[in-house]
């Protein structure tokens, strides 16, 4: 059976120009994977009708059974998605008066709050949004923009741009008969994710070659490797009948990368650290300089509460390191603010300040500018310390701009914490 193919069109000049980061494309890609549909392409176009027409024509020529669009459904003149899709599918736009009334009801509170609003323009915008292609399934708006499922070849699902609205409307889209018919031949796929830390991506490429030399048919499975946040993700998608091929590949990866494979069930380092802390009933605190509190933020996001993240110190100035984290000013004078000695002092300082079980210290040169030959931009010192006096400290030089350095630094720190919680680490001379 041929698996139906699907594509996503993300609209918006603000996305195309990079001013707004697309969240809908990746989210929809995950949903298509869950449906057992082959996600063939994601296309980003600006707010130009001709570009969207070309994108639709190309995807139709490539045999897509389903195309999902996001964005371009607002009340302004540059929101053209509904009009273009109706034209492409050969269906005239018709006014849904009931829909117009429901949209107007959502907007009425604005008239009370802003009495100076242009009522005529407001009504014109509402009427525009209530025009939908004839003979389609209307998806009730979560905000003010409705969506539609338009039958045809391909079937086109039109969804709004705000991620919260799009995601809330997705279940209704799945119930539309035209969508169900378009994906009637969807298959069933397993997806497995392995995560590796502490080796170059070229090593996993060689591992795949080793697997092929051992006679494993990698053509039966779809493998994607990605270097992200300094970690290698190996994501494999396969049909049930290819389970043996995947199992053989996983065994090769385990054998070759036993020391660097840290997750075999898709769990992220954030989740593993959170789980390890919760399982031990342990707490953690941070003292960060160049990362500006990002590590504490990552930990808190996984926590969902303050059960194990007691707090964090952001200390850029040397005086803040001394007064907030208890760093000995003599250490800063002797070794510099960016040094392993200060990183360790920050870690133990956070531990003492919050009376936590684990403390993490980070200090570095994130840029732009400010680096030296000995300590260039990207030079970061990190330390994770335990209440019993153990600590793990590492110095790294990370590539990229400020955000890349800060983000990668938090990943390095989380891996130090994971190792510390599993019993690694040397006794420090500094008393905890």
Query: Do 208 and 340 fall within a single domain?
Result: no
Query: Do 109 and 225 fall within a single domain?
Result: no
Query: Do 24 and 173 fall within a single domain?
Result: yes
- pLDDT confidence tier of residue 325, bands split at 50, 70 and 90: very high
Query: Do 18 and 154 fall within a single domain?
Result: yes
Q: Position of tokens 């005239």?
A: 92
Query: Do 99 and 146 fall within a single domain?
Result: yes
Query: Do 13 and 122 fall within a single domain?
Result: yes
**Residue 251, domain CATH:** 3.30.70.2860
- pLDDT tens, residue by residue, 190-242: 899 999 999 988 999 999 999 999 999 999 999 999 998 889 999 999 989 99
- pLDDT tens, residue by residue, 25-65: 999 999 998 898 999 999 999 999 999 999 999 999 999 99
Is 326 a residue whose pLDDT tops 70?
yes
Query: Do 172 and 202 fall within a single domain?
Result: no
Query: Do 242 and 298 fall within a single domain?
Result: no
Average pLDDT in the chain: 92
CA distance 162 to 144: 11
Question: Last residue of some domain: 162, 182, 202?
Answer: 182
- pLDDT score, position 302: 64
Residue 146 Cα distances to 86, 235, 364, angstroms: 14, 35, 48
Query: Do 175 and 297 fall within a single domain?
Result: no
- pLDDT tens, residue by residue, 389-413: 999 999 999 988 888 999 999 999 9
Model pTM score: 0.80
Is 116 a residue whose pLDDT tops 80?
no
- pLDDT score, position 78: 84
The answer to whether position 383 is within a domain reads: yes
Comparing CA positions, the residue from 182, 186, 206, 175 lying closest to residue 65 is 182
The answer to whether position 13 is within a domain reads: yes
**Residue 330, domain CATH:** 3.90.950.20
Question: Last residue of some domain: 148, 182, 216?
Answer: 182
Domain that holds residue 202: 190-263
Is 432 a residue whose pLDDT tops 50?
no
DSSP 185: T
CA distance 353 to 349: 6
Query: Do 91 and 218 fall within a single domain?
Result: no
CB-based burial, 291-304: b 16+ in 10 Å, e otherwise: bbebbbebbbebbe
Comparing CA positions, the residue from 361, 362, 354, 358 lying closest to residue 405 is 362
Question: Last residue of some domain: 182, 215, 249?
Answer: 182
Residues above pLDDT 90, as percent of the chain: 78
> Strand 38-45 and strand 5-11: pairing?
parallel
Backbone angles phi, psi at 66, to 5 degrees: -145, 135
The answer to whether position 289 is within a domain reads: yes
- pLDDT confidence tier of residue 114, bands split at 50, 70 and 90: confident
- pLDDT score, position 373: 80
Element (H, E) at 233: strand 231-238
Query: Do 290 and 410 fall within a single domain?
Result: yes
Please state whether the peptide bond connecting residue 363 to the residue before it is cis, i.e. omega within 30 degrees of 0: no
The answer to whether position 216 is within a domain reads: yes
The answer to whether position 432 is within a domain reads: no
* 243, two tokens: 């389970």
- pLDDT tens, residue by residue, 58-84: 999 999 999 999 999 988 888 899 999
Domain count, the chain: 3
Query: Do 15 and 148 fall within a single domain?
Result: yes
């Amino acid at each position: 059976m041929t698996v139906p193919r699907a594509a996503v069109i993300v609209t918006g000049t603000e996305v195309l120009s990079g001013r707004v980061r697309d969240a809908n494309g990746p989210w929809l890609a995950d949903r298509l994977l869950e449906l057992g549909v082959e996600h063939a392409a994601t296309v980003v176009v600006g707010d130009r009708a001709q570009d969207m027409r070309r994108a639709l024509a190309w995807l139709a020529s490539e045999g897509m059974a389903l195309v999902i669009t996001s964005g371009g459904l607002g009340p302004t003149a540059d929101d053209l998605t509904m009009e273009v899709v109706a034209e492409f599918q050969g269906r005239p736009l018709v006014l849904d008066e009931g829909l117009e009334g429901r949209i107007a009801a959502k907007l009425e509170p604005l008239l009370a709050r802003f009495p100076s609003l242009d009522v005529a323009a407001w009504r014109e915008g509402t009427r525009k949004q209530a025009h939908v292609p004839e003979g389609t399934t209307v998806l009730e708006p979560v905000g003010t923009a409705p969506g539609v499922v338009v039958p045809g070849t391909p079937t086109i699902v039109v969804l709004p741009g705000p991620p919260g609205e799009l995601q809330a409307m997705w279940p209704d889209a799945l119930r539309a008969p035209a969508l169900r018919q378009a994906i009637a031949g969807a298959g069933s796929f397993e997806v497995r994710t392995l995560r590796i830390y502490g080796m170059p991506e070229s090593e996993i490429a060689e591992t795949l070659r080793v697997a092929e030399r051992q006679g494993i048919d990698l053509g039966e499975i779809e493998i994607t490797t990605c270097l992200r946040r300094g970690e290698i993700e190996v994501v494999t998608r396969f049909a049930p009948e290819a389970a043996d091929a995947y199992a053989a590949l996983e065994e090769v990866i385990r054998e070759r990368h036993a020391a660097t494979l840290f997750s075999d069930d898709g769990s992220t380092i954030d989740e593993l650290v959170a789980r390890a802390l919760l399982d031990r009933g342990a707490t953690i605190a941070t003292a960060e300089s160049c990362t500006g509190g990002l590590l504490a933020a990552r930990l808190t996001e996984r926590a969902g509460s303050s059960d194990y993240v007691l707090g964090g110190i952001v200390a850029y100035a040397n005086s803040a390191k001394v007064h907030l984290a208890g760093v000995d000013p003599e250490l800063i004078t002797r070794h510099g603010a960016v040094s392993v000695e200060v990183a360790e002092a920050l870690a133990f300082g956070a531990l003492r300040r919050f009376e936590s079980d684990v403390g993490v210290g980070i200090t570095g040169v994130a840029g732009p500018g400010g680096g030296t030959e000995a300590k260039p931009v990207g030079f970061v010192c990190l330390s994770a310390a335990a209440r019993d006096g153990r600590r793990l400290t590492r110095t790294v030089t990370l590539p990229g701009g400020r955000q890349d350095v800060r983000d990668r630094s938090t990943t390095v720190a989380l891996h130090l914490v994971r190792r510390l919680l599993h019993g690694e680490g040397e006794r420090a001379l500094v008393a905890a």
